[in-house]
Structure 1
Amino acid sequence: MVLLRSGNPTSSALLSARRQPSHSSASLALPFVGRQSERTLLDTEMQLAARGEFRIVLLTGEIGIGKSRLWQEWSATLTTPRKRATIIDMLALEVMQGAPFAPLLIWFNQSSWSRQLFSSSSLLSPTLQGEILRLLPTLQLRWSDLPQLPVQSKEEERLRIFEAVTQVLLAIQKYEDAPVVLFLDDAHWSDTMMIQWFDYLAQRLSSTPFLLLLAYRSEETSPALAALVARWRYQRVAQHCSLPHLNEEEAQAIMESSGKAAIEKQYLYRQSAGNPYVLRELLQVPAGGVPASLVDLVRLHIAHLPETARQVMQAAAVLEPGIDFETLRKTCGRSEDETLDALDELTRVGFLVELKGQYAFAQPLVATIMRENLSGPRRSALHRRAAEACELMTVEQLPLIARQLVVHYQGAGEREQAAHYAEIAAEHARMMTDWEEAIRLCLQARTLASTPARTLHLGQVLLEKGDFEEAQTIFKVVFHEYQAREDQQGAARACLNIALAALRKEHLDDVSSWTQQALSILNTENDPAGLALAHVLLSSMSSMTGRVQEAEHHRAEAARLARTHNLPLNPVF
């Protein structure tokens, strides 16, 4: 996955994770979906090969994207009379990438063809058999009677071996009387000699019914393979087939029989980013869980990143989902050039992608794993730096980034600051009439650092939303909290809000009693705005009961206080 890209992870661990999706029974139980255009391309190339052409297909994509599964599904169709072919299935191993012809040697040692090719009835001459045995020391003892070959220069020996191996394929093709399909998985781990032989093969067998299919990860190709692929593309002798992520409809088809709820399926799709292997692993853990197999695999890849790239990636995980360069630089603590170099590396290997001037994790799950693997002190430091960087933005932008500041200050352990920005975010949501979000943020502010004022804010949002009963209950809680603190002005404000909720419910007796209780505390010196609101409430109540003169008196008093103290005509708290 993009999550699984880059570096040179330990071969045994990567091989285990890499082959499991293709060959485990759990994986094969999942339906094979999509990939229709890719299968059509392979069918077309197979038809051309069957007509006597040498064809090359370059199958690329991240780990777990389904290169091996596509090969398995498609190659299974090559057993019918109409599409009969001889299949040579090879796998390159990282641990053997320095050994000449390593994938071919593994195939020879495991294939029944070795016995047929090295026999008295072999289609190969004794000289060619001797050339092949140079590569197969484990077989030399079985056929020790083959002629000894003369000592040659390195270049002559290389070309003779290339031709000998090529003759093996021709012998197989002649014996089977069918096109040959050679598939090499993880071709990015091929040795240089094997790659040079591919080049030789393409020129030598240009008019032979042969399909060469190389599956590899382009970001991990060796210089030799990268050069060969570039030349083939320039010469237009190879078809490139890059496997994309599954779209949501295809992912939903895979999850159809999982029994997951629709909302969980959407979450799993976002977390997997459409990578079939990641999706399969996520389906096997409880909701919200991270499979240990993916954690281990991500750790392996991250361990092989340069130190600066790891630090920048940690900072990006803390800032995710919105990652702009300047905030990222300040959060990671690196210089501009160091940050740029790290971003180049992280985008090259596919951990991050650049989108409209910002960066994002190509796979959200990677960010989750990165954050969960941060030590406590490092997590706090990164969140504190992120918060400080965000605060440097203009005041006008603060309401828009307040939610981010809540996350960062909470992550830094500064709960009071986190609660402060939760209130700002809640007020912004209230102005946007996003009541559920405003209530959630008010509750979060109280959880982070509870105060009567924050509880009062929650009640005011509920009141404005129209939940009069619940708002009044909250205001009464606030009233008792203020009384316990002997905060008379706060208690008076709570009384006024209780009265306002009662007015909305048309409980006029409650309006009168709570407003009068507030008036017994308030005066123009300590809270002229509260006093003005008390008169507004009494004016409204009097109007509703038909006491016009009394209503006018209270309205006039509220207007006078507003003019004298420069208050809004309808103060709201």
Structure 2
Amino acid sequence: MPRLEIRLFGPPEITVDGAVVTPDTRKAVALLAYLAVNAPTGQPRHRRDALATLLWPDADQSHARSLLRRTLFSLTHTIPADTLVVARETIAFSGKQPVWIDVQDFEASIDECRRHDHGEQTVCPHCLPALRNAADLYRGDFMAGFTLRDSANFDDWQFFQAENLRRQAAHVFERLVQGLTVQHDYMTAVGYARRWLQLDPLHEPAHRALMQLYAWAGQTSAAVRQYRDCVRILDEELGAPPLPETTELYQAISENRYPTPSQPVYQAPPVHLAKRQPAAPAVPALIGRQAEWAALLAAYGSIHEEGRLVVLEGEAGIGKSYLAEAFLAQMRLRGATTCAVTCYEGEGALAYAPLMDALRQALAIPEASVRLAGLAPQWLAEAARLVTELATLYPQLPAPLPADSVGAHSRFLEGVAHVLGSLLAGPAPGLLFIDDLHWADTASLELLAYLVRRLRSHPLCVLVAWRSAAAGPPAHLQQLVADAQRNHTATLIHLERWERNAVQAFVAQAPLPGTPSSALTDRLFQETEGLPLLVAEYLAMLAGSDLTPDAVWQIPPTVRDLFQARLSRLDQVATQVLGAAAVIGRSFDFDTVRAASGRSEDETVAAIEELLRHNLVHEAPPIHHGSIVYDFVHEQLRALAYDDMSLARRRLLHGRVADVLHHQVRRAGSNAGVVAALLAYHAERAGRNDEAAAAYALAGERARQIFANRTALAHFQAALALGHADQTGLLIAIGDLQTLLGEYRNALASYRQAAESSSSSTPVQIEYKLGLLYHRLGEWKAAGEHFQTALAQASAADELSLASAIRADWALTAYRQGDMAWATTLAAQALATAEAAGDPPALAQAHNVLGILARSRGDAEQAIHHAAESLALTRRQEQLDAQIAALNNLALAYAAAHLPVQAIGLLEEALTLCLRLGDRHREAALRSNLADLLHSAGHHEASMIQLKQAVTIFAQIGLEAGPENAEIWKLTEW
């Protein structure tokens, strides 16, 4: 019976009876490896759909299953027959053929040691053979050098398997060193210690073990060389000296007074992460906040069919977060589903970051699947753009429409609003809390504004907090709150500093020695001026002292000095880990800070425990499965720790964080844009401009896909400034975004730069885009010149659909110039070319222009015919922008035919669609046209409302374009 052996440590190797066999494809190797690790004999079978999604995530389910069938055919003809049981829906090992897998043998050897009658940190003589076997099996990292470039899901699985097995191997080598040292087999132990150190050259316990082993073996010079290697590596990688215990061991070896061999080389204590023990009493939320609490209860109690926006504003340290958290806790007792997220300084370029956190929190509630059961699949598919967990939970979701399709942005916002509203629904109104909103990215603010405008149909409480100091929140958010207040759907609560009686109440609850005196309250109130954060921090400093109110308090008068005094208590390792965390940002995860600091897992755990004890960081609530996350208790603490480091060390740490993020981008899924933006930020600050430029470009593309246009624009501009290789492509993308945002002059400059940077003649797309932009600006001659050049290029390339579109737009420009004959000729040519191409969108555009020309000649019948034909075509093709144009022009044709009722109805429909699309210039034109018709019909008040809104929008666009572009105000048809 043939024997199959699968070796996955190091490069994958498959043998049958000792002969190496090679499957036809890498996917076959990946499939066998996945089954070998996750589905050995006796384990549950794997479903075909899950395996197809793992290996071909970008293919539709039918195509992925077909590819899986071909891969299985190749694999089953490479390995012995009957090795696998391949059923219609599942795949598994059969158990009929002998199969040996090195990973299983490796883990079995470790498990054998665990079954011995002693603790895991002890090494008995019976452990050594099993540990030696495990060490011999580990011939390299799991599947080293193997990757599937088109399957991020498999790469993600492979990465975490490799990391887990690497940690187990390090533990094996460490225990072998311990066991062999007890037997005085020092040189054999040296070999395993070197392998231990190869896994992590920055791991000082391994360096110390080697130093001791060399000393015990009588090789003092080798021990000294090992210490010097340790010093060199730590200096090059971390810019830091060895730990004191490493230096002390070196001095002891140099002075021939090192420990005797009977003492163990290194025995790590069991790892237990301590829970946070606050150094200062938390600020009780209701001290001095009775009126604000009553306002919160009243606002929440007013929610029935309509939701409510509640704003907490005040200066930094005033207690907004504490008040909100206490309120959320109280509402949870009433049955409300709550969700709390925070925006962070420096993350304004991370599109939708707080809303993604909110969705993930909400998806973690037990009732999530029930609450989403009745939601339309298209809304779930839209929200899955932000959080891939939805696609995992609902694998049969339809694919969302492309990000650049018409109306896709509105559908995306609506989908996220539906999903979030459904997840927070329950027996009591749900509650979404967003803290530090003044640091939110523009895309999140846009989505929040969209949700708040629809609170009339969502019984939801949206609670936000922002700082009122300095510039305050963005102007458009202030306007949104003002509008909501006028509609009686918003409550604004301003928090003031504590009065003396509130400080006294807080002092009375503090764990101070003895009974707090009135003089202590007076002194605290004088020093803090009633700012709750400072009151708490001063009391934290006093809690362990016997200072009296009239003594000289050794407390700096500013927050910076106060935080510096707390930082000075940390030991060397904790200070290094804190510095790495400060570079990462306000919020940081365990794995990244460990990698960035260069410290071992044990050292990082001990350092974080110290930071928790000193109340410098706290554990953040879990959002999803993964690394433990921590937050600095105050942004000023993070800023101080960052500023205290030298520029050289900051650059080194930024580079190490960038290295970590570089490996995370491909596995980030829907978070790839966020991770890429962080990678760009850190790479730029590490002086790695090429890497930063590439990451900014990737972040911009992902932001554009989820309609975060301003965020995408900022990323593309940053990539351009850092010298990205594709200057032309970036400039075109920037021009496209500026056009969407109505920044016409900036868009023109970007397209011109793109044309100048192109290695060949100006591409037809740029010429066409320039023509369209000049048309929007009313610069007819320039528009016509660009259309003429673009048409020549499109015709030469035999691009009929593009040529038809250019002719149609050029016809409209000629009409606006007063050249009716040329406009008519171009429109007829556009129709003929569209018919030859058989392209419905081009046909719709040609009929639309022909309708405009017919109406201008006074031929209402032909105008109605062409506009109606255009509208029918656009409805079938779901072209939102073309449909708006056809509705507008058909309405104007009906008005010319003295049919005002039909015309008003069509314009109202066009305006509704235009508001979804977000084209402000054309929205203004539609409102102006509607105002004229309403006035003619005698609806003067309604007419004036539309006219005022139109004038406001025209003024905003005209101001940016400049006074020379008066044609912007004259737009009526397009």
TM-score, normalising length from structure 1? Answer: 0.43
Could you state the TM-score of these two structures normalised by the residue count of structure 2? Answer: 0.26
Q: Mark the structure with the bigger radius of gyration.
A: 1
Higher relative contact order by CA 8 Å / sep ≥ 6: 1 or 2?
A: 1
